[in-house]
């Protein structure tokens, strides 16, 4: 969350049960290195106390335009001028309507109206009942706010405090943090469509056994997240992993190399960039046994007849769009030795302009990695760092190459 470090947020709370999430959000912003000034409406104070938010933000909470702590009675001016953004979370349906019509009958709405629009962005995280969210009036309000330059976050779906189930829940604090990180990230890939494969594949032997590898998918998911933050439209095709889908990324889950091959070919025609981070199994069984193979008294184990899986990266790199330069292909290689020599050889064999290599056994499952970027000009090292940081560096490299 380096984009949030040293940022100053005015966090506005309006009336709604989702105020309990605002406490966690405030704490998460502080942990990310930001500072937070909380401003609450009278309705918000019915759901969470100012004392709680003061303790979490380490700043006095404001709720009244006539707060005596402001000697000039201009809290709506003073509080907003140093902010990097005003974040309303939760934003009730009633407060959204206020924003739309420019009403200013409390400190928070007055501050939003009086903020320097070009300098202090307004970010809104709606929270309301599903019927309120789907009401045409609310949808019109959201559309108009977006047109007016307000950054409206999406909503979550699920069980609501009223007992109903549907859209309208405020996003979870970590989802909002991701959206903020994306908001403040330079849009180096704005307008680009990226297709990314990630994780391992699994090739069945019988109903309970299979061939796979130690890839966790963390590097590929970090790249998908970094690309989305950089303004790209990202589709992620993932093998079997236990990772949350990055905010704003479209995800398709597959299991086998054949499934990943089919899904990739069905999606790649609309992509500007293809990044193959998945650790795809090179072989599969010629036929899968329908029932579990039983252990018998014979000393020799059963023979496994293996056949080669289709080469996804090589196939995509040989398409007319890739050869013409309309599609930029990036390959990944996990090696156990002779990293640079094998990476150079593999880049040529796959026919891609850029190949990213790493020592697989040294990083599988970890949150850190070290990468070697190999192209026709030579090799460049990205030293050991978090996979999130390396993904950001890779986006910068990619932006230079496709600009």
Who's near 189: CB < 8 A, 6+ residues apart?
Answer: 227, 230, 231, 232, 395, 398, 399
**Residue 391: how many other CB atoms lie within 10 Å:** 25
101: left (phi over 0), alpha (psi -120 to 50) or beta: alpha
Q: Round to whole Å and give the CA distance between 11 and 39.
A: 6
Who's near 126: CB < 8 A, 6+ residues apart?
Answer: 90, 91, 93, 96, 133, 142, 152, 153, 155, 168, 170
Who's near 392: CB < 8 A, 6+ residues apart?
Answer: 2, 226
Active-site residue numbers? Answer: 162
Q: Name the DSSP class of 46.
A: G
Nearest to 28 by CA among 44, 45, 7, 47: 7
- What's CA 335's distance to the chain center, in Å? 27
């Amino acid at each position: 969350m380096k984009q949030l470090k040293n940022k100053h947020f005015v966090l506005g709370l309006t009336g709604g049960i989702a105020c309990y999430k605002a406490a966690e959000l405030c704490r998460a912003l502080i942990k990310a290195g930001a500072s937070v000034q909380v401003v609450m409406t009278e309705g918000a104070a019915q759901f969470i106390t100012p004392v709680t938010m003061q303790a979490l933000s380490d700043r006095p909470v404001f709720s009244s335009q006539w707060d005596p702590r402001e000697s000039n009675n201009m809290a709506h001016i003073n509080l907003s001028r140093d902010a990097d953004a005003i974040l309303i979370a939760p934003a009730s349906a009633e407060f959204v309507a206020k924003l739309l019509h420019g009403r200013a009958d409390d400190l928070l709405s007055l501050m939003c109206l009086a903020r320097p629009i070009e300098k202090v962005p307004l970010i809104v995280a709606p929270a309301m009942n599903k019927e309120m969210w789907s009401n045409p009036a609310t949808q019109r309000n959201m559309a108009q706010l977006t047109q007016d330059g307000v950054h409206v976050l999406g909503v979550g779906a699920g069980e609501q405090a009223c007992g109903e189930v549907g859209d309208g829940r405020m996003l979870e604090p970590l989802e909002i943090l991701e959206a903020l990180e994306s908001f403040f990230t330079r849009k180096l890939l704005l307008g680009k469509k990226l297709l990314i494969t990630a994780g391992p594949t699994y090739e069945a032997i019988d109903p309970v056994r299979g061939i796979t590898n130690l890839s966790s998918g963390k590097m590929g998911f970090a790249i998908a997240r970094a690309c989305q933050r950089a303004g790209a439209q990202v589709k992620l095709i993932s093998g079997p992993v236990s990772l949350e889908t990055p905010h704003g990324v479209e995800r398709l889950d597959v299991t086998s190399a054949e499934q990943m091959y089919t899904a990739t070919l069905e999606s790649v025609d609309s992509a500007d960039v293809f990044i193959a981070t998945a650790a795809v199994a090179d072989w599969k069984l010629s036929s899968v046994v329908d029932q579990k193979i039983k252990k018998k008294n014979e000393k020799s184990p059963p023979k496994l007849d293996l056949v080669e899986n289709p080469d996804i990266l090589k196939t995509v790199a040989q398409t007319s769009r890739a050869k013409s330069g309309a599609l930029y292909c990036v390959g990944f290689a996990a090696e156990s030795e002779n990293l640079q020599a094998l990476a150079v050889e593999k880049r040529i064999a796959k026919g891609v302009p850029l190949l990213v290599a790493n020592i697989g056994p040294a990083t599988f499952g970890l949150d850190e990695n070290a990468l070697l970027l190999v192209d026709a000009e030579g090799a460049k090292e990205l030293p050991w760092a978090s996979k999130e940081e390396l993904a950001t560096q890779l986006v910068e490299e990619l932006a230079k190459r496709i600009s």
